[in-house]
Chain A
Amino acid sequence: MSAAIYSPKVTKRDRKLITPEGLSLPLTVASRGARAGALLLDLTFICLGVVVFFFVMGLTGIGLFSANDVPNALGELLVVIIIIFMFFARYGYFLSFELGAKGATPGKRLLGIRVAARDGGKLTADMVIARNLVRDIELILPGAFLLQIAFGGGTGLGVYGWALVVWLLIFAFFPFINKDALRAGDLVAGTWVVEARQAKLPDAMSLAPSHAATYRFGVEELSIYGEQELQVLENVLRTDNPKAMAEVAEAICRKIGWQVGSGDDREFLESFYQALRGHLEGGMRFGRRKANKFS
């Protein structure tokens, strides 16, 4: 993922996770859309794999059987390989990828999400196995039933069949009825799926040549804004858009009662940012925090 802009605003999906070192790590539970998308991607990959596999096996089979008097054992081996392959396509794909270092299937990786243990500890092989075995009743069985209904019109189902379909659909929709978007497998295994964004280390902000001599801000001028505004300003400076900087510089000048000068906007904003951050961080060291301009 690209360098994410740090957003201090709290969304519904934010959670705190306590690592074994006692450090609280902010996590974001993956959205249901991302998970559905990852699942569709994975199913596509599996289908493609199966198609390619059968294509190759078909070619081998034709090659074998066109050569007369095939040793029977070879044909047999082919069928055995097919049966085993189908079994692994069904159960092995998710298992082997989620056991890997990224804890994610290719579909999940593409959408920037991964599996993690809910208690903040180690994600064990047993957990991954448990969460993937339950997938059978969440996805494959209801899927098979729905296909049967779609093609057979649901005539052969009977009362019990329909009851079973409804019962299974409850599990299929389980992620929609809990706040962590856990599916039944996550619940059973003690896992959840979280976002795995990757951020880059941006440049330090106070390395630019200091203009503290040109711009001198008093305590009153620095007491207007809080941390939230500081982060907006940081964002503006990092984006480095002249027009936005001009607007922000003007807004700040108005707020702190300065005349809008004809100087360099970036220089002014950098100086103000450094001064404001120094001021707010100084307060932090004494336990005084100012969340935003209203507090």
Chain B
Amino acid sequence: MAVFGRSSPEIEAPADIEAASLRSDQFRLERQVDWQRLDAIVTALEKGRPKRISDDDLLDMPVLYRKAASSLAVARETTLDAGTLAYLESLVRRAWSQVYGPQTSFWAWLKRFFGGGWSQAVRSVWLDMCIALFVMVAGAVVGWLLVARDQDWYFSLVSSDMAGGRVPGADPEILRESLNTHETSEGLSIFAASLFSNNAGVTILAFALGFAFGIPTMILLVYNMALLGAMLWVFFNAGLGWEFAAWLSVHGTTELLAILLGGAAGMHVGRAMAFPGQRAILTAISDAGIRGARVLVGCTIMLIIAGLLEGYARQLVGDMVSRFAIGGIMLAFWALYFGLAGLRKAGLRKGRKA
């Protein structure tokens, strides 16, 4: 059997197997070369030097793992040599973590992620997306109504340094100024990077807070959207509603969608905790958590794009129509991508299961 040929010369064959007086020791001596070969492979993998492993060894690794696992099963019932048992247990455990470890290379994972994994995860949280959308719209409406009834609310919602000159009753010229473009792209990359880091923080928080049954996530969404609603009111009141909407839509369609997805992912976890259904609660939570994490990695990527749009495109593109066009194209792109990517693969998988 050439497959099991011993290719690592440094592992010495055991001493005379017949010399062992105990049958269980003979069992061990017959197999220990395989164990040590597996040990060497696993050690190389653990040290992150897979190139040191010869092709033969790599091909044999699954076989060696299963041999070691079956040796352990047999040894548990036949040998009382504690040292050997401890070694085998540790070896099988280490080999198990390598065989079932996070082995996909980063690129392979990225390819699967963009080729459907992400959009499938997004589609699977559709109900939570509806809830998040509802909560966000409600938040914006609340912000609008609060400020419309009593303008003092604006100052408790929007901090003064964030508002800048954008306050109720401000001169429309100042408001228009704040929507204008910059002359050059100088300093915009810093702006884009800090926007990304800030927004990504908020989105990750929205997901993490989902752990508390999703309620803090909703509060976070309502608060952030109320802020937006209040600002919308200020601009609409000054007759600059459409200009503001265009200004916002450049990055907002991507950014708000990312925040919506982050919130939806958080609520997905919260909902699984509150209503695990037929599954055990721990299984339900971890299923939802893994799906949510996949959605969230996507959110981070969307926020990088949103940060670039906000930092550059919005500051450089001035007229309303082009701004709406950019925002609209982005929205259409996301809708198409989430709606269609990976549909065929999901269908195939379902078919195979059935």
| Interface residues, chain A, with chain B CB atoms under 8 Å away | 4-6, 8, 19-21, 23, 25-27, 72-73, 76-77, 79-80, 83-84, 86-87, 91, 98-103, 114, 116-118, 120-130, 133-137, 141, 167, 171, 184, 187-191, 196-202, 204-207, 210, 212, 227, 230-231, 234-235, 238, 274, 277-278, 280-281, 284-285
Contact = CB atoms under 8 A, between A and B. Distances in A.
A238 B83 contact: yes
Contacts of A121: 100
B209 interface: yes
Interface string B106-123: 100100000000000000
A189 B293 contact: yes
Contact of A278 (B22, B82, B90): B22
B46 to A, nearest CB: 6
B102 interface: yes
A11 to B, nearest CB: 15
Given A25-B96, A83-B197, A231 B19 contact: no
Given A125-B102, A130-B289, A136 B205 contact: yes
A206 B207 contact: no
B21 A189 contact: no
B293 A277 contact: no
Chain B CB within 10 Å, residue with most, of A72, A121, A129, A130: A130
A133 B85 contact: no
B94 A198 contact: yes
Chain B CB within 10 Å, residue with most, of A91, A121, A212: A91
A103 B79 contact: no
A201 B82 CA distance: 11
A76 B81 CA distance: 66
When A and B form their complex, which 7 residue pairs have the shortest distance between CB atoms, in order from nearest? A190-B286, A188-B289, A130-B293, A6-B86, A202-B83, A199-B90, A6-B82
Given A19-B96, A197-B90, A171 B211 contact: yes
Contact of A124 (B14, B193, B290): B290
Given A6-B85, A23-B72, A125-B104, A137 B22 contact: no
A201 B35 contact: yes
Contacts of B205: 136-137, 141
Given A101-B45, A102-B46, A231-B80, A207 B89 contact: no
A191 B79 CA distance: 33
26 contacts: A4-B90, A19-B96, A27-B93, A73-B186, A76-B187, A79-B190, A83-B190, A84-B193, A84-B197, A103-B97, A114-B97, A133-B296, A134-B207, A134-B211, A136-B204, A136-B208, A137-B205, A137-B208, A137-B211, A199-B87, A199-B89, A201-B32, A204-B14, A204-B20, A227-B80, A281-B23
Interface in B277-303: 282-283, 285-294, 296-297
Contacts of B86: 4-6, 199
B314 interface: no
Given A77-B189, A80-B193, 6 more contacts: A21-B69, A25-B89, A76-B186, A137-B211, A278-B21, A281-B24
Contacts of B85: 6
A236 B185 CA distance: 76
A122 B92 contact: no
B269 interface: yes
Given A125-B104, A130-B292, A189-B289, A167 B19 contact: no
B176 interface: no
B19 A207 contact: yes
B208 A126 contact: no
Given A83-B194, A284-B77, A187 B97 contact: no
A284 to B, nearest CB: 6
B146 interface: no
Contacts of A187: 211, 282, 285-286, 289
B84 interface: yes
Given A136-B204, A171-B211, A231-B80, A129 B293 contact: yes
Given A6-B85, A124-B102, A199-B87, A205 B22 contact: yes
Contacts of B196: 87
Contact of B87 (A101, A200, A227, A277): A200
